[in-house]
Structure 1
Amino acid sequence: MKLLTFVLLLLSTSTWAITVDELTEKAQQNDTDAQFQLAEKYLSGDGVEASDQEARYWLERAASSGNHGAIQTLITLSLQQSQDSKHLNQAIYWLTQLAIDGDTQAQLKLGELYEEQTAPPKALDMAEIWYRIAAQHDENAQLGYERVLEQKFNAQRAKQVSSIDQLEVAFDSPEIELNPVEKSKASASNAAEPWIYVVAALVLAIVALLVWHKKTMNTFAQQERNADAKSSQETLKLREQVKMQDTTLKQQKRQLDTLYRQFKKLQASKQPSVEPTTARDNKLALACAVFGYKATNIPSSKEVKARYKQLCKIYHPDLQGSEEEMKRLNGALKIVLTSVNN
């Protein structure tokens, strides 16, 4: 019995479990729940190699679409690494988003973070946060956000280059006298100098790649939002047009039915002194009434056929009509065309 229960448990688990590939496919289709679940798997290493970078990527995708769980997880991760100003700014950004929406806990946490800071936040850091918030609704804010990132990148690069230049000046100074051991160390340092430039170049390339990636993601998200808005407007416009056409067809049908009933009443209310018409004339009059004509003023066969096509859109069984109405229309067409051709 225990063995059977264990087998059933394994089968149910394998049936309902969602693989990483399935989650990835849904996440690439902008399913925010799948993006959040995929990020959690990268964080815990569940079914995939743990990767903080991949987890942050999917968390940012989900958080940008408004997934509350992704925002909370991203804030927690950033606060755990708040020694790095980049992660601290990330936490402040998402906390500010929640605070603007009226989240009391986020407002409290923001106050605690600013209180713990030994120095006031830098102007560029605050500009980056507010530009990033406004960039969701304003293209000028997006441009400002990109300018701030570029300024911070240039400042970091200038700082690195300045440090390297200071090291070169210190080692090239004739006032520094080195003993044999220090001279050997200096020569080794000079030999390793090309590698310093290589490492610095790699760091700069990585930073530039990250900035480009962020800009691309923001542009892609903006394009998706514009496409969704345009599609919604076109759908609403088409629905309005279809609704107007349906209303027009219904009005035409009601008018024709009213004309037909009035004609029948006129036929029934004729006085006995009036000379009765022949059966053929009666059929022609009824057929003309279906088309909205008078028996004494029937147009050409071409116009009759054009009118027949219009009435088919009203009386056809596939278009709000019935088989009985369609048979009556076909019989009326035959009588009217016979009269016109004769």
Structure 2
Amino acid sequence: MKTTRIVLASRPTGMPEDENFRTETVELEGPGPGQALLQTLYLSLDPYMRGRMSDAPSYAPPVEVGETMCGATVSRVLESTDPALQPGDIVLGYGGWQTHSVEAIGYLRKLDPSTAPVTTALGVLGMPGFTAYSGLLTIGRPQEGETVVVAAATGPVGATVGQIAKIKGARAVGIAGGPKKVALLRDYFGFDAALDHRAPDFADQLAAATPDGIDVYFENVGGPVFDAVLPRLNKFARIPVCGLIANYNDTELPPGPDRLPLLTSLILRKSLTLRGFIQTEFQNQAGEFYPAAAEWLSEGRLKYLEDIVEGLDNAVEAFQGLLTGKNLGKLVIKIAD
């Protein structure tokens, strides 16, 4: 069996360029004991992949130059060395940017296509949904009547954060880029207020949308959005830091004065809780997340949006667009039927 794969050809400086990737076709070995041969159906593209392209210190090891780009996948079992999986079964795995893979069966999760579209295992019922659930409820701890603000709010994490905040009785304010995304937040996802961070009066709009201040700010972006949020934070506000996509392609510190003293002063004066997290820290909550999210989904209380792009050969361009906010919803590459 051969696989066509996209590998990291070189480490990018700034925005990943086409030359940082290489497509190649190679032979696959196996499957050996405890492994399965899989055909990739769908590949998840996520912002964290930009960090894995760098060899700077991080929470996860980098993709090595020449290795297949990492990524979660929904795949069909072609061969299995364990009777627990049969050919034709659909599984969630981590095959990366390629058409076929050999993976350890112990790391695969069998999916039931009759309960929800299998692509949701890459989004609202997968890692992004669990990230929103665990980060918001464990660090953010929204209370009824409080105001929760989330950046990158039409993405799979942000949209789920806002909707769970509403389910818990809080008021949800979403921030996104462009009028189309703002309309989706308001009309489809049901946010109480939706703001365009590209608007010249964004800071004034944020102040008007949060008359009682901000109790929870779920950080996905950083940059100027955080600058506008900072003065609106209430005493004892909680800030789960999930991502900083505005800075992922930076090659040096931003210009201007050192604002760290201002931030640390506010943390002290307002008794703020600011904590970064990786969803794997909260894996003990996975057992409660999946049934809760599935129930909310079936009840129509939790909605999702997918941006499905056809073909592995379009993955690089789609990924570049993800880093500049071109996608609408969870970005998924469809590789096979």
TM interval, shorter chain, is under 0.3
TM-score, reference length from structure 2: 0.23
Taking structure 1 as the reference length, the TM-score comes to 0.23
Normalized per residue, the structure richer in strand is: 2
Structure showing greater radius of gyration is: 1
Higher relative contact order (CA 8 A, sep 6+): 2
If each structure's helix is expressed as a fraction of its own residues, which one has the higher value?
Answer: 1
